[in-house]
Amino acid sequence: MSTQGYGASVVERVKNSPLLPGDDSIAGRVALECRTVHVENIQNNPTGAYSSSIYSSARTGLGVPLLKDGVAAGVIVLFRYGVKPFSDRQIALVQTFADQAVIAIENTCLFEAEQARTKEVVAKSTELTQSLKYQTAISELLGVISRSSNELQPVFNTIVTSSKRLLRAHGALVTRVVGQELRLAAFTAVSPESDGVLQNLFPMKLDGTDPTVAAVRERIPFVVQDSEDEVARRRGFRSILIVPMLSNC
């Protein structure tokens, strides 16, 4: 809704109490009958129509529908505080404005629909690209496994580098359960000093309190939203995703 010439209280009242099609307002009658309504003297209307309080000071009113496929998509309403009817030329001008407003509404609808389709295409394209990246990474890992049937280290190295790249992570590591300990198997380097801090954490006892061993014990992924331990501080990260490698062996 757009207004000009009304006090703030009137505008607020109209916003909070939308006018309905009917004879208690010029806008309502225009919307109901889908035609231009010109009332030369609102106060002298013998039928008692246009009783809405927004006309308490108005005398002459003009309402022109915004017609789309024969249906009112909106209404342009003008008032004069004195009895001064609108001329035919003025009414024709307002009708032209109404026609242009309908065109603008239709163009906006078309634009929004096109924007929605574009966003959908972009989303699907992004999803497909991401899916292809995942499939490529899996294929690369399977290739390493097939070429390293007697070696685990190349496989672990591929897992950490691929995980870091695909998830845009600061770093990644892989651990292995050996007996009652969790040992570091592979990691992405950050700096010699911070790498040493990480390596000194291992091996870990499986009955410890570190989230990594907790994920192993409970066999479920863990997410640490905001870690402030020494390793996180020294290696420059805050959030951690821990996913256990489950095996039936």
User: For residue 248, which phi and psi values (nearest 5 degrees)?
Assistant: -95, 0
Over residues 91-101, the pLDDT tens digits come to: 999 999 999 99
How many degrees, rounded to 5, is the angle at CA 97 between CA 111 and CA 16?
75
Mean per-residue pLDDT for 48-76? 78
Helix (H, G, I), strand (E, B) or coil at 11: helix
pTM above 0.85, yes or no: no
Using 50, 70 and 90 to split pLDDT, how confident is the model at 50?
low
Q: For residue 210, what pLDDT is reported?
A: 87
Domains and CATH numbers, the chain: 8-113 (3.30.450.40), 152-242 (3.30.450.40)
Q: How far is CA 77 from CA 32, 58, 108, 188, in A?
A: 14, 12, 22, 69
DSSP 3-state of 161 = helix
